[in-house]
Amino acid sequence: MKFASVVLDVDSTLCGVEGIDWLAQQRGGDIAERTRALTDRAMDGEITLDAVYGERLALIRPNRDDIEALARIYRQTIAPGAADAIRQLIGQRTQVVLVSGGIRQAIAPLARELGVPVQAVDLHFDPSGAFAGFDHASLLATQMGKREVVRSLSLPRPILAVGDGSTDVAMKDAVDRFVAFTGFHKRAQVVQQAAGEVATFGELLQLVRGDRAR
């Protein structure tokens, strides 16, 4: 099967970083440990993203400078071959979109460089650049939100979704195939629920083109 659209997760799929965990690491100590533990439990499916999204940000309270630094990290940690694969997909008129529970302002610069749209969660800042909350209405801050966002995009079918976490599995009902990306992390629970797995963007490119069955 050749795919007309590809929906890509960002953290630990397109890029080798978990953005909110990286922000927590800049705070160090207890904040970093507590945030990482919450992220792992959510991505492994032990607890819902709804239960931890606001809690993690309240612990970290990232300011505008932090988000600009994270934007640089996203660009530096892009998966090997990802930019070229995305360029090839766009060149063959495959629609590519980033759908992430991460922070939109941090992902947007990379998305612009790649020439693809991004759906993610907006942060709010006060006039001094200090953290002032996040978009509580965003579906992407919830466990099943990616499914609803993908449905709302009305992408050309067939659609392939790619991601590494439990929130990505939620896209299964909105696409024609979901595969686990294992190039950065291999989460057994996610692989078990996927229709296959890819570890590189070269493998992903072959899958989208119909050159491999899984």
Distance in angstroms (rounded) separating the CA atoms of residues 168 and 7: 10
The catalytic position among 11, 21, 66, 168 is 11
Nearby residues of 1 by Cβ (< 8 Å), 6 or more positions away: 158, 176, 177, 210
Asked about 9 being catalytic, the answer comes back as yes
Sequence length of the chain is: 214
For the question of residue 11 being annotated catalytic, the response is yes
Question: Residue 186 has which token pair?
Answer: 């291999």
Q: Both tokens of residue 209? A: 């083109």
Dist. CA 35–CA 20, nearest whole Å: 8
List, by residue number, the catalytic residues: 9, 11
